[in-house]
């Protein structure tokens, strides 16, 4: 009797063992190659070569590799569109178009000559083969994400250039494919372009609206992830339906969802995690399994064809990057990063060679023969290696340059944001607000606090507070951010917040807007009023009616003399960072003098943020803003503590105006940092003075207007 059946046949066909072997490769290949300083991507491709049918024949390239491989290449293009800094891309779209055109024209021109002169191929075969040199895939993009420089100008240019180059390459592929399918009527070109443009317009109109509708109604992480993945495959499937490659559809969906999925959000973290952990490695292993070393080095023209293809592809991409650098006077490091990202051949190249290999000519030969097929696989391997090494080196140097602190930042107090949580209905938006305004370069700068009143201490309240803190920690952990959780007993909530802020050197406090429980209750509540008296740090009082990632604009009402407050630079930085993260426009309303100061500051330090400036001379009447603030906008009112430089008597009307005119809007009332210790009443020794209108001043102005009218 056989207790164990140890018979093993290669290649392995059991799904359990196939998946286990792939997971072991994904786990151990980076660990092994890290010691050799070889990028992870190369490890995946070499591992695929070793286990494939042309290596040790451990695994066959079955349908699972085709399925996961397709998902992986869609994921790469989708993440490229999703991670793109849209503000920077709009500013550099001309550069991206130039790089894309150069990366298409130069390789295809050189390739056409070499294919005809050196390889002796026919004209149509030479055109298709040359178009393969022009295309590229962002295989090295995960390296850019890992180093945190995906929002750099050169990265945006390379990603935008990829869209241009691959679109033109796939158009050539569609036309050549149509020639041999008998679809080359007089309107074939026109009809293909019309279908492509119409589909692009439909997706551009529909996907942001569908996405905004879904995210406002469903906040479950799993549902949001499945929804996004479904949109990616919908865009890819529709693009294939009209005769183009699905990678363009996946890239377009990433661009369209860019504003709805901030790069610091939990959903973005989930998308990157699943893609980098499973789908993208599966794709890279599948690419390695295509390589047949025996055919390439076994004689014939395969090695010659592969050599010509590799030289032309690398030279063409380098010349395109060099010309772009010279035209726009960019740095050498930016050129290296553009070259590294734009020379890897994979998705579009594979699509082109497989289509050409399947086309049978009238004489029985293939449009692209086996030499080209095997040469293409070697081209993919070499270009991916060069791309990975070049991108790794450039990205590391760029990240190191970014890590050097600026002179003005060295004297700044380390940021620490305190988020008191008590109401479970506000935990999500308070934590998400903290995530989009925090400085991503600083670690451990978020603190969540639960305060239990000494007089009402009970096990139930303590357990409830722990659950609230765990929920807050789960939100930040899913975004890859560490959260410090504090639970304490104190005389009251305000005292607990104040004491915690002082003990932990807190620089900013974010609290939810108080809900009125009776008619005599104040708009902000006793908690906010007590905090403002006890703390001189920045305090944000927030209320959100829609998810933060679905905001389309930030409207900021700025009072006169706000630029003289100690916390002016900090809140400008916070909201410019928020606008840049969410990809929405920040619209400042202020008087002329403050507006000029704001414009100079934003132009100098936050030029990448989409901003707009308008006059608001009568700041005391916020009714003027009701026509500017829509349901999907965020209204920010910059207020001030009593006795500060920018304080005005019109602030007394602020609660009534907000409660009357903006009940259906998300809003933040911000009290900036104030120099010195907090004090309720301004003394004669206070050098700041007070901007508040006193009663005798009002009487004096009334008499002045009356005498002027009489005269």
pLDDT of amino acid 418: 92
* R_g of the chain computed on alpha carbons: 30
Least confident window among 145-159, 291-305, 576-590:
291-305
Residue with tokens 């004689």: 299
Dump pLDDT digits (tens) for 10-43. Answer: 788 788 888 888 888 888 887 777 676 666 766 7
Dump pLDDT digits (tens) for 333-387. Answer: 888 888 888 888 766 676 677 667 767 777 767 777 777 777 777 787 788 888 8
| Selected residue with higher pLDDT from 300 and 503 | 503
**Average pLDDT over the chain, rounded to an integer:** 79
Packing angle between helix 332-342 and helix 302-328, nearest 10 degrees?
Answer: 140
Percent of the chain with pLDDT over 90: 14
Q: Give counts: helices (H), strands (E), the chain.
A: 27, 10
H-helix or E-strand containing 326?
A: helix 302-328
Chain length of the chain:
711
pLDDT of amino acid 1: 42
Ranked by mean pLDDT, the top range of 128-137, 388-397, 591-600 is: 591-600
Which pLDDT band holds residue 185 (cuts at 50, 70, 90)?
A: low
Per the structure block, which two tokens stand in for 209?
Answer: 């609206």
What's the order of all strands across the beta sheet hosting 417-420? 484-490, 446-453, 417-420, 508-512, 538-543, 666-671, 633-638, 553-557, 585-590, 611-615
Contact 680, 644 (CB under 8 A): no
Residue 316 sits at φ, ψ, to 5 deg, of -60, -45
State yes or no: pLDDT of 620 exceeds 80. no
Task: Please give the full DSSP string across 474-505, using - where no structure is assigned.
Answer: HHHHHTT---EEEEEEESSHHHHHHHHHHHTT
Dump pLDDT digits (tens) for 449-475. Answer: 988 876 666 677 778 888 888 889 888
State yes or no: pLDDT of 149 exceeds 70. yes
Percent of the chain with pLDDT over 70: 83
Tell me what the mean pLDDT of segment 38-60 comes to: 78
Q: For residues 477, 483, 487 and 490, what is the CA-based torsion angle, rounded to 10 degrees?
A: -140
Task: Please give the full DSSP string across 45-70, using - where no structure is assigned.
Answer: HHHHHHHSTTTT--B---HHHHHHHH
State yes or no: pLDDT of 148 exceeds 60. yes
State yes or no: pLDDT of 410 exceeds 60. no
298: number of Cβ within 10 Å: 11
343: number of Cβ within 10 Å: 28
Which pLDDT band holds residue 675 (cuts at 50, 70, 90)?
A: low
Runs of H (alpha helix) within 536-591: 568-582
Residue 365: C-alpha distances to residues 114, 356, 358, 359, 601 (Å): 21, 11, 10, 9, 66
State yes or no: pLDDT of 231 exceeds 60. yes
Dump pLDDT digits (tens) for 579-603. Answer: 988 888 999 999 888 999 999 999 8
Query: Buried b vs exposed e over 439-470: b needs ≥16 C-beta within 10 Å?
Result: eeeeeebbbbbbbbeeeeeeeeeeeebeebbe
Q: For residue 68, how far is the Cα from the chain centroid? A: 24
Query: What percent of the chain is helix, strand and coil (3-state, nearest 5)?
Result: 60, 10, 30
Of 348, 281, 345, 275, which is closest to residue 48 (Cα–Cα)?
281
Residue 293 sits at φ, ψ, to 5 deg, of -65, -35
CA neighbours closer than 13 Å in the CB half-sphere of residue 676: 16
Gap between the Cα atoms of 235 and 78, Å rounded = 10
State yes or no: pLDDT of 681 exceeds 50. no
Residue 152: C-alpha distances to residues 82, 389, 501, 610, 642 (Å): 14, 19, 35, 16, 42
Least confident window among 136-150, 274-288, 316-330, 430-444:
136-150
Contact 291, 377 (CB under 8 A): yes
Packing angle between helix 63-83 and helix 153-180, nearest 10 degrees?
Answer: 130
- pTM for this one? 0.71
Q: For residues 115, 121, 123 and 124, what is the CA-based torsion angle, rounded to 10 degrees?
A: -100
H-helix or E-strand containing 614?
A: strand 611-615
| Selected residue with higher pLDDT from 158 and 406 | 158
pLDDT of amino acid 392: 85
Ranked by mean pLDDT, the top range of 29-33, 81-85, 234-238, 614-618 is: 234-238
Gap between the Cα atoms of 610 and 594, Å rounded = 19
Gap between the Cα atoms of 413 and 416, Å rounded = 9
Runs of H (alpha helix) within 404-458: 407-410, 427-437
pLDDT of amino acid 144: 82
* CB proximity list for 13: less than 8 A, separation 6 or greater: 60, 62
Pairing of strands 666-671, 538-543: antiparallel
Contact 100, 158 (CB under 8 A): no
Which pLDDT band holds residue 693 (cuts at 50, 70, 90)?
A: very low
Which pLDDT band holds residue 698 (cuts at 50, 70, 90)?
A: very low
Runs of H (alpha helix) within 135-187: 141-147, 153-180
Gap between the Cα atoms of 345 and 425, Å rounded = 49
């Amino acid at each position: 009797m056989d207790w164990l059946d140890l018979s093993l046949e290669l290649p392995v066909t059991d799904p359990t063992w196939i998946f286990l072997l792939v997971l072991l490769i994904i786990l151990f290949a980076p660990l092994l190659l890290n010691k050799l300083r070889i990028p992870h991507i190369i490890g995946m491709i070499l591992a695929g070569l070793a286990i494939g049918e042309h290596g040790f024949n451990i695994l066959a390239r079955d349908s699972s590799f085709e399925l996961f491989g397709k998902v992986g290449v869609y994921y790469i293009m989708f993440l490229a569109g999703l991670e793109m800094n849209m503000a920077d891309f709009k500013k550099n779209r001309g550069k991206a178009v130039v790089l894309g055109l150069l990366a298409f024209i130069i390789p295809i021109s050189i390739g056409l000559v070499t294919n005809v002169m050196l390889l002796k191929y026919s004209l149509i075969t030479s055109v298709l083969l040359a178009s393969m040199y022009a295309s590229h895939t962002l295989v090295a993009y995960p390296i850019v994400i890992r180093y945190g420089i995906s929002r750099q100008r050169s990265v945006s240019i390379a990603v935008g250039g990829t869209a241009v180059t691959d679109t033109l390459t796939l158009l050539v592929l569609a036309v050549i494919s149509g020639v041999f399918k008998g679809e080359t009527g007089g309107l074939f070109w026109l009809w293909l372009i019309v279908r492509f443009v119409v589909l692009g317009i439909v997706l551009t109109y529909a996907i942001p609206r569908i996405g905004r509708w879904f995210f406002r109604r469903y906040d479950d992480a799993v549902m949001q992830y499945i929804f996004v993945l479904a949109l990616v495959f919908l865009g890819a499937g529709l693009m294939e339906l009209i005769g183009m490659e699905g990678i363009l559809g996946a890239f377009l969906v990433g661009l369209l969802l860019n504003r709805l999925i901030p790069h610091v959000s939990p959903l973005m973290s989930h998308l990157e995690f699943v893609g980098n952990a499973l789908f993208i490695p599966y794709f890279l292993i599948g690419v390695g399994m295509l390589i047949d070393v025996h055919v390439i080095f076994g004689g014939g023209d395969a090695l010659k064809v592969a050599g010509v293809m590799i030289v032309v592809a690398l030279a063409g991409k380098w010349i395109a990057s060099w010309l772009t650098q010279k035209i726009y006077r960019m740095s050498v490091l930016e050129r290296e990063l553009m070259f590294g990202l734009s020379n890897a051949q994979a998705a579009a190249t594979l699509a082109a060679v497989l289509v050409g290999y399947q086309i049978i000519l009238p004489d029985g030969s293939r449009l692209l023969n086996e030499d080209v097929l095997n040469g293409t696989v070697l081209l993919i391997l070499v270009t991916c290696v060069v791309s990975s090494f070049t991108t790794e080196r450039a990205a590391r140097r760029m990240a190191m340059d970014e890590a050097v602190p600026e002179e003005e930042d060295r004297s700044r107090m380390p940021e620490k944001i305190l988020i008191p949580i008590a109401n479970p209905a506000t935990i999500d938006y308070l934590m998400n607000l903290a995530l989009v305004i925090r400085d991503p370069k600083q670690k451990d700068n978020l603190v969540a606090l639960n305060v239990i009143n000494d007089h009402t201490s009970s096990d139930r309240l303590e357990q409830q507070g722990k659950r609230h803190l765990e929920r807050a920690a789960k939100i930040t952990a899913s975004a890859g951010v560490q959260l410090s959780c504090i639970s304490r007993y104190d005389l009251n909530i305000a005292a607990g917040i104040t004491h915690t802020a002082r003990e932990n050197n807190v620089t900013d406090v974010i609290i939810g807007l108080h809900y009125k429980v009776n008619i005599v209750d104040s708009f902000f509540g006793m908690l906010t009023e007590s905090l403002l008296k006890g703390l001189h740090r920045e305090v944000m009082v927030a209320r959100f009616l829609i998810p933060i990632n679905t905001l389309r604009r930030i409207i900021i009402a700025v009072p006169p003399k706000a630029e003289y407050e100690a916390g002016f630079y900090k809140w400008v930085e916070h909201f410019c960072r928020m606008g840049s993260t969410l990809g929405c426009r920040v619209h400042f309303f202020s008087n002329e003098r403050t507006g000029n100061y704001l414009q100079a500051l934003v132009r100098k330090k936050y030029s990448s943020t989409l901003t707009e400036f308008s006059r608001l001379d009568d700041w005391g009447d916020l009714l003027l803003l009701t026509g500017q603030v829509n349901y999907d906008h965020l209204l920010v009112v910059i207020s001030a503590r009593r006795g500060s430089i920018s304080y005005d008597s019109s602030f007394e009307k602020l609660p009534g105006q907000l409660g009357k005119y903006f009940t259906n809007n998300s809003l933040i009332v911000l009290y900036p940092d104030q120099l010195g210790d907090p004090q309720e009443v301004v003394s004669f020794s206070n050098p700041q003075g007070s901007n508040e209108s006193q009663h005798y001043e009002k009487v004096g102005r009334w008499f002045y207007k009356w005498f002027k009218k009489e005269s």
